[in-house]
Amino acid sequence: MNALKQNKEQIHQRHNRVQHHSGSKRSLNKPMLLQAMRDAFKKLNPMVMIKNPVMFIVEVGTFITLLLCIDPNLFTASDAGRGYNVAVFFILLFTLLFANFAEALAEGRGKAQADTLRKTKSDTIAYLMQKDGTVKQVASTELKKGDLVRVEAGQLIPTDGEIIEGLASIDESAITGESAPVIKEAGGDFSSVTGGTRVTSDYIIMRVQTDPGESFLDRMISLVEGAQRQKTPNEIALTTLLAVLTLIFLIVILTMVPMANYLGIRLDLATLIALLVCLIPTTIGGLLSAIGIAGMDRVTQFNVLAMSGKAVEAAGDIDTLILDKTGTITYGNRMASEFIPVQGVTVPEMTLAALQASVRDETPEGRSVVELASKQGQSWEESNYTNADRIEFTAETRMSGLNLSDGTKIRKGAVDAIKRYVTSEGGRVPGDLDEIATRIAKAGGTPLAVAIHNRIYGVIYLKDTVKPGLKEKFAEMRAMGIKTIMCTGDNPLTAATIALEAGVDDFIAEAKPEDKIAAIKKEQQEGKLVAMTGDGTNDAPALAQADVGLAMNSGTMAAKEAANMIDLDSDPTKLLSVVSIGKQLLITRGALTTFSISNDIAKYFAIIPAMFILAMPQLQALNIMNLSSPQSAILSALIFNAIIIPLLIPIAMKGVKYRPMSAERLLSRNVFIYGVGGVIVPFIGIKLIDLVLSGLM
């Protein structure tokens, strides 16, 4: 057990150094493509299509054109032949299939990951602890919230829970993809365990936190499949805009009929449908859902589970990042490294006092004090402390301790808290106490003062370690315009030292949970979007308040429940990748919307002259592409409108590359590339298709 504790920091370091992106290696394989093709046909169901107003209009037009293939004069007299109607029908059908294929392909990548996760969710045997102390074997599906389960080395953890007893090495590779085991233990921020992971050494007793079907793995499978994906506010707004544009063009097309009749021009119904489909924003309408799904999929490739697309989008607009220190910026395993007595107290006396203050303390820090005291030769009788009243640590008192049965009061906690306690008990504060505490704090450690009755014996020196590479990551965030603030319960000197070493912009010392919430609200009141990362139960309220709450998978269940993102690698700098993906998602959607709307300009010059050129030869001047015939022009525009969707699928799936720059420069760049490009490319594409069609016709 001691060896396991000694290796704890090494294991945590190895765990955080290795960045295993479980989804990054997933590629589009043949089975995935075939499944997407099958799903493209299934999605032709009108009940599915109606969720996308733009493509639903296309489907209605496709059905009407199918009827015209059977009888060209079904609705009105028509000059168009059956062959022309058949051509329009198949082009419209492929437009629908290409749009559905894009969405199915994006969903398929999530389903592939979900299938992998399902393999880890098997009906495992759980060892349920009975009230009489015996253990009963039951299926994991029978476990209920609140049950106590014992899991030993080699056994799978049956469901989500919190460790209440024990310390063990746990293999989480089934969830995180990380091969190095992590240490989980009772009483700290590393106490939550996930169903499907495996205990590799020692044992734990865990309390079940979820009912059947509600585990973290169940929710994760549902989310990555995309089955429960809700549209984001940005996506809803854009869908509404596209629906309004579609309605406007529908009204325009309907008003063209009486105008054409007045001029003595007969317009074929298939041609009107072709014009409508080309004018409405079918490109972005077909790719919109795929962009959102692919954005969430890219987040999972970085081993981050996003509870909603809204969180991913919000990450793209983050202004301020608030980080919890312990377990986020630092490894969180503060260990006692030295007992420093005040003047007039010997080292053995201080060691014994520290030991007495910690014998009933089940936190990692408390156990490290007991272990260090044991190494220094101190021993104790367990029976002397069995009936002692344990004083729990709270954010308000900031100290803990014991009240022994003989009336002895032992306290351990923050230096200023112990000073106030001793003074209230009629004692005095040693003259060198502040100097010792300051020296420890300046070294980046945490000083814990120890007192018995009204006498202070000395200071316990706790050490913590900043995770490597954070300073460079925070510098990148600063370049992106994101302010970083560290929140910690440590004293200001310790906080300042850690903040300087980590490279954050600001810090809040001696922070209680309500202080973190206040800091988030202050930033939000200034109109800023705030992200919060944390892993402890005390971080849960702040994670819930933040616009983006990123919980560490190594943290408590309360933190993971409150957050809207969970980092399976427990790396606080992962938010940098999430921010980039969020910005990329917004940029991709904007870029393809710009491209889609710009496309219409070329289609105007193709279809409008083709429809009216026989009755109004003057419109030949608008035929700047010199298309060979009216039917060829309409079919060329319609074919281009269909094939541009699959050609843009790689961009929708991969996303437009994000480059850190000002919003103005970014807008100008995208308008130039996708706006101007959206005008030029269709002219070239439609002309090339016309050349092919004129040769065939």
Rounded Cα distance between 408 and 484, Å, is 45
**461 and 348: one domain?**
yes
Q: Which domain holds residue 552?
A: 304-329+468-568
Whether the predicted pLDDT of 209 surpasses 50: yes
Averaging pLDDT over each range in 74-83, 172-181, 257-266, 485-494, which range is the top one?
Answer: 485-494
Rounded Cα distance between 429 and 445, Å, is 21
Using alpha carbons only, what angle is made at residue 62 by residues 58 and 63, rounded to the nearest 5 degrees? Answer: 120
Whether the predicted pLDDT of 182 surpasses 90: no
Which of 147, 189, 297, 324 is the catalytic position? 324
Report the candidate in 296, 317, 311 with the shortest Cα–Cα distance to residue 652: 296
- Which of 466, 489, 519 corresponds to the end of one domain? 466
CB 436 within 8 A of CB 493: no
428-445 average pLDDT score: 87
Rounded Cα distance between 591 and 163, Å, is 48
**480 and 495: one domain?**
yes
**pLDDT tier at 73 (50, 70, 90 boundaries)?**
confident
**Token output for 226:** 């995309």
Lowest-confidence segment of 108-117, 588-597, 627-636 by average pLDDT: 108-117
Rounded Cα distance between 200 and 11, Å, is 13
Q: Give the pLDDT of residue 112.
A: 63
Q: Residue 431 corresponds to which amino acid?
A: G
Under DSSP, is residue 535 helix (H, G, I), strand (E, B) or coil? coil
**Token output for 422:** 């001793």
Rounded Cα distance between 598 and 109, Å, is 30
**174 and 35: one domain?**
no
Sign for the pseudo-dihedral over CA of 386, 366, 149, 125: negative
Lowest-confidence segment of 118-127, 205-214, 281-290, 420-429 by average pLDDT: 118-127
Under DSSP, is residue 511 helix (H, G, I), strand (E, B) or coil? coil
Q: Residue 195 corresponds to which amino acid?
A: G
Whether the predicted pLDDT of 459 surpasses 90: yes
Q: Give the pLDDT of residue 219.
A: 65
Q: What DSSP designation does 11 have? A: H
530-558 average pLDDT score: 80
| 500 C-beta neighbours (distance < 10 Å), count | 13
- Pairwise pLDDT comparison (492 vs 613), residue with the higher score: 492
Q: What DSSP designation does 466 have? A: B
Q: Give the pLDDT of residue 346.
A: 92
List C-alpha distances in Å: 482 to 7, 320, 618: 35, 5, 58
Per DSSP, helices labelled H in 153-232 are 173-176, 216-225
- The answer as to whether 573 is a domain residue is no
Lowest-confidence segment of 7-11, 159-163, 230-234 by average pLDDT: 7-11
Q: Give the pLDDT of residue 535.
A: 75
Q: Give the pLDDT of residue 26.
A: 44
Whether the predicted pLDDT of 4 surpasses 70: no
- The answer as to whether 475 is a domain residue is yes
Report the candidate in 482, 485, 480, 523 with the shortest Cα–Cα distance to residue 502: 485
Q: Give the pLDDT of residue 179.
A: 47
**339 and 450: one domain?**
yes
Whether the predicted pLDDT of 53 surpasses 60: yes
**538 and 650: one domain?**
no
- The answer as to whether 6 is a domain residue is no
Q: Give the pLDDT of residue 464.
A: 74
- The answer as to whether 121 is a domain residue is no
**487 and 347: one domain?**
no
Report the candidate in 357, 468, 441 with the shortest Cα–Cα distance to residue 365: 357
CATH number at residue 150: 2.70.150.10
Chain centroid to Cα 579, Å, comes to 10
Per DSSP, helices labelled H in 613-654 are 630-654
- Which of 568, 603, 626 corresponds to the end of one domain? 568
Mean pLDDT of all residues in the chain?
80
Chain centroid to Cα 469, Å, comes to 21
**100 and 233: one domain?**
yes
**629 and 553: one domain?**
no
- The answer as to whether 118 is a domain residue is no
**233 and 170: one domain?**
no
**Token output for 111:** 């389903």
- The answer as to whether 219 is a domain residue is no
Lowest-confidence segment of 109-113, 487-491, 506-510 by average pLDDT: 109-113
**Contacts (Cβ under 8 Å, ≥6 apart) of 474:** 484, 502, 503, 504, 505, 573
**Contacts (Cβ under 8 Å, ≥6 apart) of 20:** 176, 177, 178, 179, 303, 569
Q: Give the pLDDT of residue 227.
A: 45
Q: In total, how many domains does the chain have?
A: 4
CB 231 within 8 A of CB 173: no
Under DSSP, is residue 471 helix (H, G, I), strand (E, B) or coil? helix
**Binding-site annotation, residues:** 361, 365, 393-400, 412, 535, 539
Lowest-confidence segment of 243-247, 507-511, 609-613, 677-681 by average pLDDT: 609-613
324 belongs to the catalytic site: yes
Rounded Cα distance between 157 and 135, Å, is 15
Question: What region, left, alpha or beta, does residue 264 occupy, with left being phi > 0 and alpha being psi -120 to 50 degrees?
Answer: left
Sign for the pseudo-dihedral over CA of 34, 37, 42, 47: positive
CB 541 within 8 A of CB 525: no
- Which of 211, 246, 270 corresponds to the end of one domain? 211
| 650 C-beta neighbours (distance < 10 Å), count | 10
Rounded Cα distance between 358 and 370, Å, is 6
**Binding-site annotation, residues for ATP:** 361, 365, 393-400, 412
Whether the predicted pLDDT of 679 surpasses 60: yes
Q: Give the pLDDT of residue 1.
A: 36
CATH number at residue 439: 3.40.1110.10
Averaging pLDDT over each range in 74-83, 101-110, 405-414, 511-520, which range is the top one?
Answer: 405-414
Q: What percent of the chain is predicted at pLDDT more than 90?
A: 12
Whether the predicted pLDDT of 395 surpasses 80: no
| pLDDT, tens only, 308-350 | 667 787 888 888 988 877 766 876 667 888 999 999 999 999 9
**Contacts (Cβ under 8 Å, ≥6 apart) of 180:** 11, 14, 15, 18
- The answer as to whether 9 is a domain residue is no
Q: Give the pLDDT of residue 149.
A: 92
Report the candidate in 279, 277, 249 with the shortest Cα–Cα distance to residue 96: 277
CB 251 within 8 A of CB 259: no
List C-alpha distances in Å: 692 to 609, 633, 639: 20, 11, 12
**pLDDT tier at 119 (50, 70, 90 boundaries)?**
low
Q: Give the pLDDT of residue 140.
A: 80
| pLDDT, tens only, 367-393 | 889 889 988 888 877 777 778 888 888
**pLDDT tier at 3 (50, 70, 90 boundaries)?**
very low
**374 and 449: one domain?**
yes
**Token output for 76:** 């009105």
CB 598 within 8 A of CB 674: yes
**197 and 93: one domain?**
no
Q: Give the pLDDT of residue 404.
A: 87
CB 127 within 8 A of CB 151: yes
Question: What region, left, alpha or beta, does residue 297 occupy, with left being phi > 0 and alpha being psi -120 to 50 degrees?
Answer: alpha
**207 and 158: one domain?**
yes
Lowest-confidence segment of 306-310, 543-547, 651-655 by average pLDDT: 306-310
Rounded Cα distance between 310 and 528, Å, is 16
**pLDDT tier at 584 (50, 70, 90 boundaries)?**
confident
Q: Give the pLDDT of residue 28.
A: 57
CATH number at residue 492: 3.40.50.1000
Q: List, as one string, the DSSP characters of 652-684.
A: HHH-PPP----HHHHHHHHIIIIIIHHHHHHHH
Q: What percent of the chain is predicted at pLDDT more than 70?
A: 84
Whether the predicted pLDDT of 456 surpasses 90: yes
**Contacts (Cβ under 8 Å, ≥6 apart) of 292:** 229, 231, 232, 235, 309, 585, 589
| pLDDT, tens only, 231-283 | 667 777 888 888 888 888 888 888 887 877 777 777 778 888 888 888 888 88
- The answer as to whether 25 is a domain residue is no
Under DSSP, is residue 533 helix (H, G, I), strand (E, B) or coil? strand
Counting runs of H as helices and runs of E as strands, what totals does the chain give?
25, 20
Total-model pTM:
0.60
Q: Give the pLDDT of residue 697.
A: 63
